Amino acid sequence: MRTPIPAERLQKLQALREKGVDPYPRLFEGAEPIGGFRDRIVDGAMVPVRAAGRITAIRGHGKAAFLDLKDRSGKIQVYFKKDTLGDALYEVYQLLDLGDFIGVDGEVAKTRTGEPTVFAKSFTLLSKSLQPLPAKWHGLKDVQIRYRKRYLDLVSSDDVPKIFLRRADVIREIRAFLDGRGFIEVETPVLHSIAGGATARPFVTHHNALDMDLFMRIALELHLKRLLVGGLERVYEIGRVFRNEGIDATHNPEFTMLEAYQAFTDFTGMMELCETLFANLAKKYFGESRRVPYGELELDFTPPFPRRTYRDLLREHAKVDLEDHEGVKRVAREMKIDVAGLDHYAIANEIFEEAVEPTLLHPTFVTEHPVAICPLAKTKASDPTIAERFELFIAHKELANAFSELNDPIDQEERFRKQVASGSDEVPKEVDVDYVVALEHGLPPAGGIGIGIDRLVMLLTNSHNIREVVLFPLLRRQEGEGPIEVEGEE
RNA sequence: GGGGGCAUAGCUCAGUCGGCAGAGCAACUCACUUUUAAUGAGUAGGUCGCAGGUUCGAUUCCUGCUGCCCUCACCA
C-alpha cells in the first residue's frame, strides 16, 4: 500500500521554500568520502573538509546538535552550533529530518570524548526526504519491504550493502581471471527464437513488428559456441538467463550465469580453470586456509577438490550400480521415486539427486555422467555411454557444470531430434537447425563451463537465500503497487 | 501446484480464553551549546492485510481472497 506523505514533512518543505531554500538543488561538488575522515585528523588542528551524505541521526542540544552523516564509505558525526552556523542556517537545520541529504563544509577533529567530528561552518540541503526511514536500531526485518523497497534495506543495514559490494567484487575478479587467460567477453542475444542450451521451461514473449514469438534465453551456450566456430577461441559471457519455473531459496526466475568456452581443450581444462577460480576467490575473502564459513558449515576450498565418478558415488550412497537396470528400479521403488515416463538413466539420476547430492558438502567434482543425460557433451573416447563432463557440487548444490563440447554436427542433430521427440515442455519444440549448421562449418574441440553466479555469491557471503544476493528478486505485484493511473491525452 | 505458518502505529514487536488497542524507537511541542541508542517533560499517531459469516458485540472464532515465509514437487 502507498503510504501518504506525512503532513509535517510537507509543511517543512513549504517552510524551506519560503525561506528561499531549494530542497532539491542540482550540484554539490568536491565532497570527499567520509570513511577517510578519521585518518585525516591531526591532533590539535582543525582540518578543513567537505562531506555529503544522508542524515541518519540527530541529537539536539538546545542551540546545538550532533548529526550522523552517512555516505557509501562510512559514517561521521557532524556538529552544528547556532553561533557558528548563524541564525538563518540554524533555522534551516530545524527543518531537517532523518533521511535528508546534506552537504557540509567544516573542519574535522575529535571531540573531548574522542569522537571524530566535522565541526560544521555551513551546510547545504541537497535533498529533502518526505518519507521516514525505518527505525534506527532494529532495522528492517519485514522481508516483503526489504525486497520490494531494497533502497530502505540498503540504507538501514550495514550488512546488506556489504553483500552487494562483494557480489560486484566477485564478478570483477571473475572478469579479471578470464581476461587474464585470454578470454574475451561478449554479449549474445537474450531473445531467442529457439530456447536451447539447457533443459528448462522458457518465458515466451512477442515481437510486434516482426509478429514473431520469442523466448527469453535459458542459457548462453549455443551462441557462445557459434563464436568458437567463428574463431574467437576463448569467449565468455556473464549474463541473465530466465527460467519459467518454481521459486525457492535457491531459485529466482532470472539469475546470472557465467558461461565460458575455450577451444582446443576439453572438460579437464575447464576443471582446472574452475578449481583455480574458486580457490582464488576463497583465498581472497577467507585467507590461505580457504575455509569458507557457511551457516554451521566450514567449506574447504583448498585445491585439488576431490574427483568422484557418478557411478562410484551412486554405488557408495545408493548401493546400486549405474548399469544394473533392475537394481536401479528396485532402489527407486524403495526411495518412493516416481519413475513414470522416465528412462533408466533418468531414474538413476533421480536416485543420484536424492541419495548422493545431500552428501556433497565440500567442493567436489562429479565426473563420468551417463551420456543419456548430457545432450551437448562429447562422449568419453574409451566408453561411448559416458559423457566427458563434470559438475561441481558445494554444500549440496550444483555450482558449476562443464563438458567437452559436442562438435559432431550429425551426432548433435540426432540428439536434438531425440529431445524434440520426447515432447517435454522443458525442451525446444523444434531442432535448432541454425546451430547444427554452425557445427557443420566446424566447431574446434572445446571445453565449456557454466557457473551460477548467484549461488557462488551466496556461498561467499554466507547467504542462505538467493534473494539475499539479488538486489530486486521477483515478487508478486502487491495490491496498490505500481504506476499511478493517469488520465491519458486522447 | 500440495502441506504448514505469518499479516496489529512509519519501524521492531506485545496483546485481547470475544468486551474502549499497547510498548520501545521514529514523529510533533517544550527545556538543554560536546552528545553519540543523548537526556527530561508533554502530545499525537491504528479500517488490527482485504471481503464475507457466526455473535448483543469480531482485531480475536469460522470461510474465502491477497501477499509473504517455511516445506514438498520441478529446477541451477
pTM of this structure: 0.90
Per-residue pLDDT, averaged over A413-423, amounts to 87
Which CATH number is A7-127's, of 2.40.50.140, 1.10.10.10, 2.50.20.10, 3.30.413.10?
A: 2.40.50.140
pLDDT attached to residue A278: 97
Q: Are strands A297-300 and A291-294 parallel, antiparallel or unpaired?
A: antiparallel
A329 Cβ within 7 A of any nucleic strand B atom: no
Flag whether pLDDT at A71 surpasses 60.
Answer: yes
Q: Which of A325-329, A412-416, A453-457 shows the lowest mean pLDDT across its residues?
A: A325-329
pLDDT attached to residue A2: 66
A130 Cβ within 7 A of any nucleic strand B atom: no
Residues 273-312 of A with CB under 7 A from strand B: none
Domain A7-127 and domain A159-306+362-468 have a common topology: no
pLDDT attached to residue A482: 44
Q: What Å value separates CA A64 and C1' B44?
A: 26
Q: How far apart are CA A290 and CA A292, in angstroms?
A: 6
Q: What Å value separates CA A274 and C1' B19?
A: 67
Q: What Å value separates CA A151 and C1' B21?
A: 32
pLDDT attached to residue A337: 76
Q: What Å value separates CA A479 and C1' B54?
A: 29
Which positions of chain B lie under 7 Å from any protein Cβ? 1, 10-13, 24-28, 31-39, 66-76
Q: How far apart are CA A467 and CA A473, in angstroms?
A: 6
**ipTM for the complex shown:** 0.84
pLDDT attached to residue A376: 85
- Other beta carbons within 10 Å of A82: 16
Q: Which residue is nearest to nucleotide B67 (CA to C1')?
A: A478
* Mean confidence (pLDDT) of chain A: 90
Flag whether pLDDT at A231 surpasses 90.
Answer: yes
Where are the domains positioned within chain A?
7-127, 159-306+362-468
Q: Which nucleotide is nearest to A256 (CA to C1')?
A: B76
Per-residue pLDDT, averaged over A403-431, amounts to 89
Name the more confident of A476 and A399: A399
Per-residue pLDDT, averaged over A296-300, amounts to 89
Q: How far apart are CA A66 and CA A59, in angstroms?
A: 5
Residues 14-53 of A with CB under 7 A from strand B: none
pLDDT attached to residue A362: 92
Flag whether pLDDT at A106 surpasses 70.
Answer: yes
Q: Which residue is nearest to nucleotide B10 (CA to C1')?
A: A132
Distance set, CA A353 to CA A320, A347, A365, A374, A385 (Å): 14, 10, 15, 15, 20
Name the more confident of A359 and A3: A359
A248 Cβ within 7 A of any nucleic strand B atom: yes
The proportion of chain A whose per-residue pLDDT surpasses 70, expressed as a percent, equals 96
Q: What Å value separates CA A307 and C1' B62?
A: 58
A390 Cβ within 7 A of any nucleic strand B atom: no
Per-residue pLDDT, averaged over A172-195, amounts to 96
A397 Cβ within 7 A of any nucleic strand B atom: yes
A143 Cβ within 7 A of any nucleic strand B atom: yes
What is the identity of the amino acid at A300? D
DSSP 3-state assignment of A387?
strand
Runs of H (alpha helix) within A209-251: 221-229
CB A56 within 8 A of CB A69: yes
Residues 73-102 of A with CB under 7 A from strand B: 77, 79, 81-83, 97-98
DSSP sequence for A112-161: TT--EEEEEEEEEEEE---SPPPPTTT----HHHHHHTHHHHHHH-SHHH
Flag whether pLDDT at A262 surpasses 90.
Answer: yes
DSSP 3-state assignment of A308?
strand
A8 Cβ within 7 A of any nucleic strand B atom: yes
Flag whether pLDDT at A136 surpasses 80.
Answer: no
Q: What Å value separates CA A210 and C1' B76?
A: 32
Q: Give residue A104's pLDDT band: very low, low, confident or very high (50, 70, 90).
A: very high
Flag whether pLDDT at A269 surpasses 80.
Answer: yes
Per-residue pLDDT, averaged over A242-254, amounts to 88
Q: Give residue A44's pLDDT band: very low, low, confident or very high (50, 70, 90).
A: confident
Q: Which nucleotide is nearest to A115 (CA to C1')?
A: B36
DSSP 3-state assignment of A404?
strand
CATH class of A159-306+362-468: alpha beta
User: What residues are paired with A404 via a beta bridge?
Assistant: A447
Q: What Å value separates CA A113 and C1' B25?
A: 25
Flag whether pLDDT at A245 surpasses 90.
Answer: no
CB A80 within 8 A of CB A65: yes
Distance set, CA A456 to CA A128, A166, A187, A266, A409 (Å): 39, 11, 21, 23, 33
Residues 451-480 of A with CB under 7 A from strand B: 452, 454-455, 465-467, 475-479
Q: How far apart are CA A224 and CA A22, in angstroms?
A: 52
A245 Cβ within 7 A of any nucleic strand B atom: yes
pLDDT attached to residue A100: 94
Q: Which of A91-105, A151-165, A300-314 shows the lowest mean pLDDT across its residues?
A: A151-165
Residue whose cell numbers read 566450514? A298
Q: Which nucleotide is nearest to A99 (CA to C1')?
A: B26
A419 Cβ within 7 A of any nucleic strand B atom: no
Q: What Å value separates CA A163 and C1' B76?
A: 21
